[in-house]
């Protein structure tokens, strides 16, 4: 059980979206629904922020773009797949490292019930 109230609130938002529209949609549909639900609950978030990447102290032209940063501290990645993979987890972990945030949520809307993984860096 997750005891962090902010993480719990985000999972509640995701469950509301999943219960309302169910599995089988594109990730972008879930992103937009999450954005609406976060706004309805007055939960602060940034949708698809561009996070700079550096290599040997040089800024790269490419960016990491997580789906959301919620409460200015929790990186949220959305998937709509049958199963989460190690690559999905690595993507979130890299976003945590790049953004210097400590907590991340990987939400999978592609199954009959919402699946999530919480990561602490």
* Length of the chain (residues): 121
Range of the domain at 17: 5-120
Phi and psi, residue 9, nearest 5°: -65, -40
Token pair listed for 53: 């990447």
**Average of pLDDT values for 71-77?**
96
**Average of pLDDT values for 71-94?**
93
> In the prediction, which pLDDT does 1 show?
56
Is residue 2 scored above 90 in pLDDT? no
CA dist., res. 119 & res. 18, Å (int): 21
Task: Place 121 in a pLDDT band, splitting at 50, 70 and 90.
Answer: confident
State the total domains in the chain.
1
43-53 pLDDT, tens digit per residue, is: 999 999 998 88
CATH of the domain at 75: 3.90.320.10
CA dist., res. 21 & res. 18, Å (int): 6
């Amino acid at each position: 059980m997750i005891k962090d109230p902010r993480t719990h609130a985000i999972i509640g938002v995701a469950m509301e979206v999943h219960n309302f529209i169910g599995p089988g949609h594109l990730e972008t549909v879930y992103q937009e629904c999450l954005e609406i639900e976060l706004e309805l609950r007055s939960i602060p978030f940034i949708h698809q922020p561009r996070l700079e990447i550096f290599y040997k102290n040089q800024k790269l032209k490419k960016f990491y773009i997580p789906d959301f940063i919620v409460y200015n501290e929790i990186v949220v990645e959305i998937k709509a797949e049958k199963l989460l993979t190690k690559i999905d987890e690595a993507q979130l972990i890299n976003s945590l490292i790049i953004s210097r945030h400590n907590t991340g949520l990987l939400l999978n809307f592609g199954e009959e019930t919402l699946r999530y993984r919480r990561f602490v860096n």
